[in-house]
Structures are given as C-alpha cells and as structure tokens.
Amino acid sequence: MELATFGAGCFWGVEALFRQVEGVTDVAVGYTGGTLANPTYKDVCTDRTGHAEVVQVTFDPARVSYEKLLDAFWQLHDPTQLNRQGPDHGRQYRSAIFFHSPAQEAAARASKAKLQASNLYPRPIVTEISPASTFWRAEEYHQRYLEKNGLPICHI
C-alpha cells in the first residue's frame, strides 16, 4: 500500500469522491502543511495555522496508479482558484498535492505541466506541490461526513 495526500477544498466531498476510485483502500480526512501540532477543525478554520484540509488516500499501486489518482484530483476541483473552492475561501481550502516520494513529486509536476499546457483552463493552475508533512487526522465526526449524514456530494 502507498499513500497520496491531496487538498482540493472542503475535504468532505474530496473524501467521498476518492472512495469511489477502484484500488483505493482507505481515505481519511485531516490537516497538513501547517505549523500547529495536533490542530483541530476550529484551529484550521481560523486560517492562521497554515494547514490545508486534505485527504490522505491509501491505495494499492497494483490496482490504481498514482497518475490515475492525479487525474481524479484534477477533475474534482478547479485548480485555478487560489485559496478557495466554490464558496469556501481561505488558505485551508487551497489546491495542493503533498508528495510522499521523489517519484510522486515528479509525477505531480509532470501532470500539472501537462494540464497547464492543455489550455483546458483560461487561468494559470495555482496548485501547490509540496513534500508531505505530518498528517493530523480530523475529528471523527468529519470522517465519512457526507455518508454519515446522508448528504449528496457537496463538491464542485
């Protein structure tokens, strides 16, 4: 099993969509990329901790490639929106790929460059590509939030 970590706005919809990808064995929502140890949702929502709302995806590389996960990531949000997705705004909602290996970094950078060159978006892609740091699992009520509450996908 391998890990992949993505930020694409509110983590509830991102989690639900990655759970549908064949070869993904688990998805947890949480926070990464900030300065505060063991942040809470309330802390992250202040937009002062530097954390992004993210999903940490556990996947079987024999069943799904990291490149396929990148394709899903690009399709489920607007990577040209700086520090926001839809109505959610703040650095915690930034578009970000947190890589776990040099191979993931190379794949992420190549994927971003290919998408930018495709001219699919009229604006530049602002997705951050950074090394994965400590993943802080979000509070339990955030895990599978949409599923637990019988809500439809909330993402763009």
CB 30 within 8 A of CB 137: yes
Residue 23 gets the label, from left (phi > 0), alpha (psi -120 to 50) or beta, of left
- Of 10, 57, 70, 138, the active-site residue reads 10
> Would you call 154 a catalytic residue per the annotation?
no
Q: Catalytic positions, please?
A: 10
